[in-house]
Structure 1
Amino acid sequence: MVSKRNAASATGTLSMEYFFPKKARSKGDETDVRSDMKDFWAAHSNDATVESMMFDTKASTLTEMESKEIMSMLPNIEGKRILELGAGIGRQTRLFAEKASHVTAVDFIETFVEKNRQSNGHLENVDFIQADVTKLDLPEQSYDIVFSNWLMMYLTDDEVLKLFINTLTWLKEGGYTFFRESCFGKAGDFDLGENNPTFYRLPSQYNALFHSAFLPGKKDDDQSRGFEIIFSKTLQTYVKVRHSHNQICWLLQKKRIAEYRGYITFQAFLDNQQYAKKSIPQYERMFGEGSISPGGLERAKECIKMLALKPGQKVLDVGCGIGGAAFHMAETYGVEVLGVDLSCNMIEIAMERAAASKTENLQVQFEVCDVTRRDFDPNAFDVIYSSHMIVHIADKSSLFASLLKWTKPGGKLLISDYYCGNPEDHSEDFKEYVKQRGYTICTTAEFGELLSSAGFINVKVEERTKQFTEILRSEKKRLQEKKESFVKDFSAEEYQNILSSWDNKLKWSEAGHHRLGVFYAEKPE
């Protein structure tokens, strides 16, 4: 449970100034920004067409495709109350109204509101409001879902944070918010001129903002409320039509905040500790480009060969990190890969690299999600691959049951991960390391039994600890040989921290505490 005081301190651990340096936090005060935004839209909204609203000559094609995709991502809207912010001319309003009990459609551009009213005003379960969302005043806990599409990129950082806090207020307990924004750069092909005031944030900036929004507990319930991420992913319509990976959407749920070691969520713990922004480049320097796992991409390739992948197969990469293995599978074998990871920082890097890729028809996408809460369709994947992620999961039985459900009959599962020797023999410093990392580590026998109990067959376990020890020695040697460049790019302190960490891992692997294995299994036909 997080008290009012602890919630505030937990928010502080997210280092807002780290994500938003003062120099880059806004383009002026909020009054000037709001004026700039109104002038910008006044110049682009006279005809209220879908092309002018989306700034894209392919707007009609995009609308038809993306509306279906977006609707497929939402939780069940049947009989729900929906608040649609930035509703525009009503591209989604009618679709919501067909199933929802009530829709409140809000936009601050008069011509857009009128166009929406002309198209959907005959629907008895829709209200239309022309208002600035920064000044919107609505009853508490009055909506099941708050939806916004291309809205926050027209607000300052402080306005976005306030909107997230207001959204928590408007949502019912357990309610959801879905939002989609252009990240990294603009979406359409219109020339918006030099005075385009839009904020094209990084995904990590939105993540920091919604993680920093919370409602303090009350006297009758002192537990604070905040957002828990269900997923964040790239809109595939734009990948297919515009070859653009910059359209990012999020689904969040209003939840009681369960503190994890001083952080609002386990995700926040990961992104501020093991997978902090400053740590990921250091790991990649140690493990090699595209990887944050022992042995780097070469070892991943060795494991992936065991799967005998075939073109057209669908692969789920659980704990994909910065995407090295996912890119390799898609580029080398012609498979379609979905990489998922709980770390916002790592997925952002993977998304950036996907956007920069020159590979034609690259069938890879990335998603931030808690795989223990995500639910894919049964029999959705031919292969599920995971590297050094299962060690983070406490309830492995439930996860393996989900992996089995998502795998097609006859499909394959391959896991490369840490395991341990006899827990009774563990040294105190190894126990402390496992605790600090948040690992739930088990023996090979326990790991194999969990897979069999979940329903997998042909379970095979390969001991790779000797290889792990050799990899650690090689990586340590490479670090020492490149000490000068490492210290230059990072610091002498970070160099010593990494070196000490590798010394400890070597000590524990040689003692049989810290081990590495490959676990293969199949789903019955």
Structure 2
Amino acid sequence: MDKKIDQVTAELRSYLPDVKQKSVVVLLHDVENPAPYMQLLNDASQTILFTNSSSTYKQIDNEKLPKTNNVILNCAEFKNCELQPNSADVGVMIKSFNLLSVKEKESVLSKLLTVLSDDAYCFVYEKEWIKDNENHSSTPIDLINYFHSSTSKHSDNKTNYGFALVSVRPLQTYVQLKSEPFHLCFLFKKVHYIDAPETLRDFLDQQQYSKNSVLRYEKIFGPGFVSTGGLDTTKEFVATLDLKPEHRVLDIGAGIGGGDIFIAKTYGCSVIGVDLSTNMVGIAWERLLGLTDAKIKVSFEIGDVMKLEYDNNSFDVVYSRDCILHIQDKHELFTRIYNWLKPGGKLFITDYCCGKKPWSKDYEAYVNDRRYNLLTVQEYGKYLEDVGFKQVEPVDGTNRFADCLKVELERINSMKNEFISEFSDEDYKHLVDGWESKLARTSEGHQRWGIFRATK
């Protein structure tokens, strides 16, 4: 087994849910070498494998793998299987889902919801994204939408089950060696809808970061950007980080990816952009799929940065723009970032901050409505120092923020007719009112903007 296969197998294992002493149902269709995928499941108590490929079946059947589990091979269609309901602890699909027709996808997911036990995980690895065939997913978002639209009723005929997205992570081996960012590992969880509370991702994707809202923001910030100052502030701030081609950058709150693509193109370094919002990353993937000639080392993940794991001492720079305001436990977040950075690594953040209380009722309502968790600039800097960062530079950049707001407001006013034709008059008024309100809150001293630099 060559080094690349070893690296890919190790990455897949790190993203795979725990299978130790569990019953796993697997869909593994026509793959060139099934052995590494089977080895991922050695710790399972039972592996029930379905493949419609006689070649894959024969290879697994003949392979002398060090199996400690009971492998049941089925050269049959999973959608027609007769497994007992709630009998599998984990579902795994390897390079199989996108090969199915639309009806087959729906049947397979319905069957999975029946076969998987409550709160079971389903892991999906896909690498092909074909745009010109109606029987294939055209983008990773299509795959997510298939899972999200699948539901199944419990035997009581009342309880609805479905799949909730946990994360989507690219295999970095392919990003680094081949600049291929779409070898993606999806993790879903079977959820009982009646008990499922609204998550922060649900709130963001359905309200502030609905796709329409994101595209409106991009119109005012500039192509590829949804943070203050767009490309102008990105160029300015990134220029201070002394980036080298060998560096690895983690962008927390990557948005629609313009900043990460700029960093990778300009400095040649490797960039991982992570965001909780499915809508944000979906747009970033669309833009990245369009860069057919660009051999850059950039990839995007969907996930909760408070739960995702990265190796300690693995990043040269952690970068974040106007995102951490959504995260409540900043001490825990900064501790995680500190651990991920290499010794001497740099942290750069811009973020919404606040003035000291009491706040105006208008500002209090704004913060509560957005579910922001804000600190003063000084409190922010103290958190960074408390977790061990050195050379902490907390700067109140509110004046710069206000200047950016004015430029952006002038831009949107100058393209009023174009904006209304692309969106609506209501969207235009909403955006203008929002920017004018931000300017009012900054002048009152309530809304602040912090710029933070620190070193591990």
Interval containing the TM-score (normalised by the shorter chain): 0.7 to 0.9
CA contact (8 A) 1:182 1:200 kept: no
**Normalising by the residue count of structure 2, what TM-score does the alignment of the two structures yield?**
0.88
Q: Does residue 1:268 correspond to 2:202, yes or no?
A: yes
Specify whether residues 438 and 183 from structure 1 end up closer, same or farther in structure 2 by C-alpha distance, changes over 3 A only.
Answer: farther
In the other structure, the counterpart of 1:234 is 170
Q: Deviations along 1:406-460, whole A, 9 cap, x unmatched?
A: 1112211111000011231x22222222222221112122212222222222221
1:316–1:241 Cα change, 3 Å = closer
Partners in 2 of 1:309 and 1:241 — Cα distance? 20
Aligned to 1:35: none
CA contact (8 A) 1:344 1:368 kept: yes
- The one-letter code matched in structure 2 to 1:369 is G
The 3 A distance-change label for structure 1 pair 300 and 121 is closer
Call closer, same or farther: CA 1:427–1:225 in 2, change over 3 Å.
Answer: farther
1:514 aligns with 2:433: no
- 2:188 aligned residue (246, 252, 262): 252
Q: Give yes or no for the alignment of 1:104 onto 2:41.
A: no
* % identity of equivalent residues: 34
Q: Is 1:461 aligned with 2:394?
A: yes
Letter in 2 for 1:494: D
Question: Residues 2-401 of structure 1: matches in 2 within 5 Å?
Answer: 66-88=8-30, 90-110=34-54, 112-119=56-63, 123=67, 125-157=70-102, 159-161=104-106, 163-182=108-127, 184-185=129-130, 198-213=135-150, 226-236=162-172, 239=175, 244-254=180-190, 264-357=198-291, 360-401=294-335
In structure 1, distance between residues paired with 2:139 and 2:192: 27
Measure how far apart 1:172 and its partner are. 4.2
In the TM superposition, what is the alpha-carbon distance from 1:162 to its structure 2 partner? Answer: 5.1
Aligned residue pair count: 450
Other-structure match for 1:3: none
Q: Give the C-alpha shift of residue 337 in structure 1.
A: 0.9
Q: Distance in 2 between matches of 1:267 and 1:225?
A: 19
Shift of 1:502: 1.0
- Counterpart amino acid of 1:507? A
Structure 2 CA distance for partners of 1:329 and 1:122, relative to 1, 3 Å = closer
Tell whether the 8 Å contact from 1:397 to 1:454 is kept in structure 2 after alignment.
yes
Matches within 5 A, 1:467-506: 467-506=400-439
Letter in 2 for 1:444: V
Gaps of 5+ in 2: none
Partner deviation per Cα, 1:64-107 (whole Å, 9 max, x = no partner): 76445433432344433322113446444531353333211112
> Against the structure 1 CA distance between its residues 87 and 423, is the aligned structure 2 distance closer, same or farther, given a 3 Å change threshold?
farther
CA RMSD of aligned residues (A): 3.0
Partner Cα distance (1:231, 1:481) in 2: 39
Contact 2:381 2:392 in 1 (8 A): yes
Q: 1:86 to 1:359 in 2, by over 3 A?
A: closer
Q: CA deviation at 1:134?
A: 2.0
Superposition deviation, residue 479 in structure 1: 0.9
Conserved 8 A contact 1:185-1:246: no
Distance 2:433 2:277 in 1: 25
Q: From the superposition, tell whether residues 169 and 406 of structure 1 become closer, same or farther in structure 2 (CA, over 3 Å).
A: farther
Task: Give the C-alpha shift of residue 235 in structure 1.
Answer: 3.9
3-state SS in 1 of match to 2:40 = helix
Aligned-residue offset at 1:224: 7.1
- Displacement of 1:499 in angstroms is 1.0
Task: Give the deviation of 1:112 after TM superposition.
Answer: 3.9
**Deviation readout 1:355-404 (Å, 9 max, x if unpaired):** 33266541211111110110111111111101111000011111111111
Residue 466 of structure 1 aligns to a residue in which SS?
Answer: helix
Give the direction of change, closer, same or farther, for the CA distance of 1:325–1:93 in structure 2 (3 Å limit): closer
TM-score by length of 1: 0.77
Task: Indicate if the aligned counterparts of 2:116 and 2:190 stay in contact, CA closer than 8 A.
Answer: yes
Q: Summarize the Cα distance change of 1:505–1:74 in structure 2 as closer, same or farther, 3 Å threshold.
A: same
Q: Note if contact 1:233-1:250 (Cα within 8 Å) is conserved in structure 2.
A: yes
Aligned residue type for 2:148: H
Distance change >3 Å, CA 508–CA 183, structure 1 → 2: farther
Per-residue CA deviations over 1:175-205 (Å, capped at 9, x if unaligned) read 321112355417xxxxxxx9x6631232222
Superimposed CA distance per residue, residues 33-52 of structure 1 (whole angstroms, 9 cap, x where no aligned partner) = xxxxxxxxxxxxxxxxxxxx
CA 1:172–1:405: 2 relative to 1, 3 Å: farther
User: Which consecutive unaligned segments of at least 5 residues does structure 1 have?
Assistant: 1-59, 187-193
